[in-house]
Amino acid sequence: MIKKILLTTSLLLLIGISFYLYSYKGHRDIKSETPDYIVTIYQLEKEFNSNDSLAYIKYQDKTIQLTAQVTTIDRASNGILIGEKIFATFKDPLPKDIVSGKMLKIKGRFLGYDELLQEFKIDQCSVLH
């Protein structure tokens, strides 16, 4: 009888631990990931204008890389506007060498498109050299 209780308890514990590890995966490190897509602002606009549902499915929560000119810098929110269409927030403090007008290659996690501001949102960005 005790063997059955120990076996049942062990099995339930193993199932519980497996479920926990499956459900609560570690945080992604976007900086070390290979980008899923290397895109331009024009490509993003074109795909979202033609079929935004398919574009969301394609890009949502994916790592993307793009190159564009820095338009606005907001050091208070740790973000920049690039190409007048993409608002990118950085996980780490903004590098000091980021200035308006500079071409910048970044990689980050695509969040979506803000129709009100007509901007794409990317977070956890890092500068690629």
pLDDT of 115 > 80? The answer is: yes
10 — pLDDT class (breaks 50, 70, 90):
confident
- In this structure, the strands spanning 119-128 and 63-74 are unpaired
Torsion over CA: 20, 26, 28, 32 (sign) = negative
pLDDT of 129 > 80? The answer is: no
pLDDT of residue 26: 64
CATH for 30-128, among 2.40.50.140, 1.20.1440.130, 3.20.20.100, 2.170.16.10?
Answer: 2.40.50.140
pLDDT digits over 22-75, tens only?
A: 777 667 788 888 999 999 999 999 999 999 899 999 999 999 999 999 999 988
Q: What is the pTM of this model?
A: 0.76
pLDDT of residue 96: 84
> What does the mean pLDDT of the chain come to?
89
Q: What would the 3-class secondary structure string for the chain be?
A: CHHHHHHHHHHHHHHHHHHHHHHCCCCCCHHHCCCCEECCHHHHHHHHHHCHHHHHHHHCCCEEEEEEEEEEEECCCCEEEECCCEEEEECCCCCCCCCCCCEEEEEEEEEEEECCCCEEEEEEEEEEC
pLDDT digits over 15-32, tens only?
A: 888 888 777 766 778 888
Report the alpha-carbon distance of residue 40 to residue 109 in Å, rounded: 15
List the domain boundaries for the chain. Answer: 30-128
